[in-house]
Each structure stands twice: as C-alpha cells, then as structure tokens.
Amino acid sequence: MCGIIGYTGNKNVTSVILKGLKNLEYRGYDSAGIAVLDNKKIFISKFKGRISDLENSLKKIKIKSQIGLGHTRWATHGEPSKKNAHPHTDCFGKIALVHNGIIENHDKLRKELKEKGCKFKSETDTEVIAHLISKFYKKSLRKALIKTLKKLKGSYALAIINTDNPEKLLTARCDSPLIIGKGKNENFIASDAPAILEHTKKVIYLKDYQVAEISKNKVEVFNFKNKKIPYKVNTLAYDKESAEKKGYKHYMLKEIYEQPKILSTLFAQYLTPSGRTKFTNLNLKRDFLKNIKKITIVACGTAYHAGLVGKYIIESLTDIPVEVDLSSEFRYRNPIIKKKSLFIAISQSGETADTLAAIRKIKQHNVKILSICNVLGSSLTRESNSIIYTHAGPEIGVASTKAYTAQLMVLYLLTLHLATLKNILDKTKLKKIISSLKKIPHLQKQILRNDKKIKNIAKRHLHFGAFLYLGRNINFPTALEGALKLKEISYIPAEGYAAGEMKHGPIALIDEYRAVVCIANNSLIYEKMVSNIREILARRGKIVVIATKGNKNIKKYVKEIIYIPKIENLFSPLLVTVTLQLFAYYIAQIKGYDVDKPRNLAKSVTVE
C-alpha cells in the first residue's frame, strides 16, 4: 500500500525523495510527507493530497541535508489528513519515521505509552513505533529499534532518522516489501524499485525480521539478536525507461499497448525455436510434474481472474482438475490438501498480503508452490519453490492490464508443458496450438489499431449508471475482469456474470438504463449467447457486443459491435480482454478521471 523512501548521499535530498515518491505514488496517494535532517534537527513537511502539493510547499524552503525519508500514504488507521500523514515523530522530535504496513496491537501499545506520558499527535498505528523506540533508546538506536520490533504484531517496512545519528538511516521489515539500493557514495531505502531505478540497479532484499543500518558508504544488516549478518547484492533487470510514460497520456494506455510485445517476449523466454516449451528454472522434478493429481490456484483481483481462465485452459488440455480460490478466502478455510498436488500463486506484485498468507499456509502441508509473478525478487518469488516470471516490465497503472495477459500466456505455456510431459498432447496438436498462440500479438495489434472505434463506443456509453458484463465458458472470467476494470477506474457500478446465470437473478436489473457488454465471439456456445442477447433486447437493455470479425448475423440484433479477429475460443480471452481494457480506459479518460490513480485503490495490497 504506502510507499516509503529513504536517502543518504551527496545529492539534493529533497529532490531525490520527491522524485522517488512520485514513482511510488501508485502505491498510495492520499497524503505525503518528507523528513530531512538539517543541522542535527529534523525538518518535516507533510500534506493531505498529492505529492505535487508537497513539492510546491518545499520550493520556498532552503534545506541543506544529506539524509532524509519520504512517504506516500494509503490510509488504514485515521483518515487522510495532514496530522495522520507520515513521517511521525516521538515526543521530543528526535526520531522520525515512515511506515508501510499495519501494527495490529497498536491500541494496546498506545494505551500503555499514554499511561507513561506519551503525547500522541495522530490517529495512526504507526506513531506507537516512534514512541516505543524513544522509550527504549539509551545508547544504541538499533538496539532500541529491535526491542520495539519485538513488541509489534503485524506488518511493517520502516525507514527511520534520528538527530543523535545524523549520518545513519535505520530500516527494518516484516511482511511488507522493502529494498535497499546501493549506490556510489549514496544509499537508498525503498518500497519498490521504480523509486530508485534512476540512481542504482544494485539492491539488497531485506528479509523479514532483519534490521539494517545505512550510511552513504556502508550498509550493515543485523538479525533480531543484534548480530551482523551477510547479505547478497542483486542487480535489477529493468531500466528507468520501462517505468516511464513514453508520450502516452496515461501509464494504463501505454501498458495496454505494450501487450503484443510482452507476449512475444514470453515466447522467446519459454519456447524453443522448434516450438517446444522450456521452463529451465522450474525447479520441480519431471516425475512430480508428470504425476500431478490436482492444481490449486490462489490469487486476488485481476490475478484471480487469470487463475479462473487458467482453470479452463488446464482442464481442457490436461487431465488435471483445477481449483481456484481467492487468497483471502483460502487463508481462512480448511482446504483438503492431498499429495501430488501443485499449488500455483499468481500475483503481479508478489507482495499481496493475502496471497503471501495463503502460500505460507500451504507450506505447512509440504506442498510445492509455483508462483507466476511479475516482480523479480518480490516476497512471493522468494518464498516459492518455483517461479515463472511474466516479464511484463514495471506495471505502474493501478488497474492491471499487461500483467494480466502475460499471466494468461504463462498459463497457456505451462499447460502445454504439463500436457507434453504427461504425453496427452501429440506433436501435431501441440504445433497447432503454438501456431495459434504465436498469432496473438499480431491480432492484438489489430485490435489496438481499432482503438478509435472502441473510443467512440465508449463515448456513447459513458452516461450509463451501471453495467453488466456477460460471458460464458472461458470468457466468463473475461467478463469479470472487464467489469473490474470499468468499476476500478470509472467508478461506474459494473458486475460480471456468467451469461447462463442471467435468468437466475441479474435479469431483474435489465431495463433501458442498463448497459450490457456481451462477449459473443465464435465458439460452441455462441448461439447461447445470442439467446441471452435477445432476452436483454426484449427488456430494452443497451448492448455492446464483442463478436468475431465476419459475423454479420449479429448485426440483426445489435448496433454497437466491437469486432475481434478470428481465433479459437480457447485463446480468445487474450483478445477480448484488450478490447475491454480499452473500453474501460476511454470511459474513465473521457469522464476526466485520474486513470492511473483511481480513488481508494493502491497498486500493491500489502495489508490484509
């Protein structure tokens, strides 16, 4: 959720922090703040609203500093306001800190601290951390921090400055993402790579229950016994440009347009020149893969929809039954876990709290975990037995687009891999499927070239107060995803439904004020969709239909048609999704909303 950054070095501290915060703003954006050490005093500025407000306020102030931290907030405890914005301080203004996570026992700690005379200035859970450190602080701030952390229940990534140690940043993590960036005569703390990419690609992934002390020339990592421990420096694979807008009005639009290229990258990664799948780093024994008896997929939001599509793909090409669960449900239910099961977690960020909790639960049963993830080195990838990266590059738009189609493509290729190992697919069929998949980037480009038409249809429908999205079979999850995209960025209530369920309830919603998006591409169940369309028309619902190019018959019923190129139904989600992404994007964009930063949302949901 929130974004944190810390810096120590010779550059202009405020501008490094502000720039870093802007690149983290997708994580939360209801308030922002900065703290820097200037002449052994802590200077703090914080604002409700966007980072640009904070930036304007700082223009008038001259600060000479070599060390500081910043925060962009997604409120959990206490409304978005100046007083609740981070950084938070102790009673003496000697310690300032920023936090991402939730302190679950903060009420109890607050009560105890108040009894000991602490004066609280905010309603946040974070403030207890500053007061606790101050209470424990005698000679070593690090020791005080470790004592504090042992008292906390919940999740945290922290960056701390202190007037007695003006050259040092302190940091710690537990269940919230955090990296340390190593530069030349400068070092960084950040929630995520985009904040520091412009300065360094060398990073240390701090692990849970580790603390680090950082000065501009040194990074030292300690465990909770205050013992120095070795660490590994990794090199980030992506560059600064991949996290920029490149002339597009919004990141979301740029990311929609990147999809054909990403799918081609995935072919290069996971297919041999002769068209066989290659997952060289799968780290799972062939024998195990050949004998999988059940697959369970867990994920949240858009990634969950990818999992649902995955069920259709895997079950139609292999003999493996698939169960798909929302991570937030899975973690609190009593799943039946049998031997020879494979557990797949799907996540763009690899930091989603519920998905991490789900895999931790499954780990207790000694089951193999394969993660499909976009962010290298994220918590999910570090905690899984096996990883398939989606190679979609940094996804900045809060509404997930390119990560989704990349997840789908990985699921297609993984399915082919399993089916081949199990000897279920013969060479000819495998060749045919791969040839269809390889056409997809080109076909997606055709849809993108048609984007004016989609924009015009969006224009004609943005006044509708509510939408229903209907699909069947493999495009039922596509309907869910289309509805999610629309509601996330345009705030129009939108519901996705399996078209066959329409008569069991949602039909009651249909009248001339309801827009219904029907996915009716060519497939075995096309006629069933047509029946649904006729039922909607009979009730004067306004239909936008997604149909396959060449289908003239549909014109008899519907005027608003978005055609997708011809493709077998099994692969159609990769095309239909792109049209629905563009449709949602244009509705929100024309309505004038901040598409990349929809209200109340954050890119990675790192709290429960």
C-alpha to C-alpha distance for 120 and 90, rounded to whole angstroms: 9
CA angle at 70 for the pair 352 and 302, rounded to the nearest 5°: 20
Catalytic residue among 48, 94, 597, 603: 603
3-class SS of residue 64: coil
> Is the separation of the CB atoms in 43 and 21 below 8 Å?
no
In the numeric block, which tokens belong to residue 489? 């960025």
**Given 2, 118, 174, 518, the catalytic residue:** 2
Give phi and psi for 207, each to the nearest 5: -95, 165
Cβ closest to ligand M6R, residue 303 vs residue 567 = 303
Distance between CA atoms of 60 and 540, rounded to whole angstroms? 59
Whether the CB-CB separation of 512 and 485 falls below 8 Å is answered with no
Task: Please report, as a single letter, which amino acid is at residue 18.
Answer: L
Min dist CB 375 to ligand M6R, Å, is 8
Least separation in angstroms between CB 372 and ligand M6R: 10
Q: Which is nearer to ligand M6R, 100 or 348 (CB)?
A: 348
- Give least dist CB 390 to ligand M6R, A: 10
Q: What whole-number distance in Å separates Cα of residue 210 and Cα of residue 81?
A: 31
Q: What are the CA-CA distances from residue 313 to residues 20, 62, 213, 243, 478 (Å)?
A: 40, 59, 48, 31, 13
Sequence-ordered list of residues with C-beta below 8 angstroms from that of 558, at least 6 positions apart, any chain: 518, 533, 537, 543, 544, 545
Residue placing its CB nearer to ligand M6R in the complex, 96 or 358: 358
Least distance from C-beta 601 to ligand M6R, angstroms?
6
Structure tokens at 16: 């490094």
Which residue has tokens 């049209």? 579
- Integer Cα distance of 293 and 499 in angstroms: 30
Q: Is the Cβ of residue 300 or residue 314 nearer to ligand M6R in the bound state?
A: 300
Q: Least separation, in Å, of the C-beta of 590 and ligand M6R?
A: 19
Residues at the site binding ligand M6R, with contacts judged by CB under 6 A = 300-303, 347-349, 352, 355, 398-400, 488, 601, 604-605
The amino acid occupying position 440 is I
The question of whether 445 is a catalytic residue gets the answer: no
- Least distance from ligand M6R to the Cβ atom of residue 73, Å: 18
Please name every residue paired with 3 in a beta bridge, in sequence order, or none if there are none.
72
CB nearer to ligand M6R: give 399 or 413.
399
Q: Which residues pair with 266 in a beta bridge?
A: none
The residue among 214 and 492 lying less far from ligand M6R, judged by its C-beta, is 492
Catalytic residue status for 2 = yes
User: Considering Cα of 9, then 10, then 16, then 18, what sign does the dihedral take?
Assistant: positive
Two tokens, residue 398:
């809060």
Q: Which residue is nearest to ligand M6R (CB)?
A: 301
For ligand M6R, which is the closer residue by CB, 90 or 488? 488
Catalytic residues: 2, 603
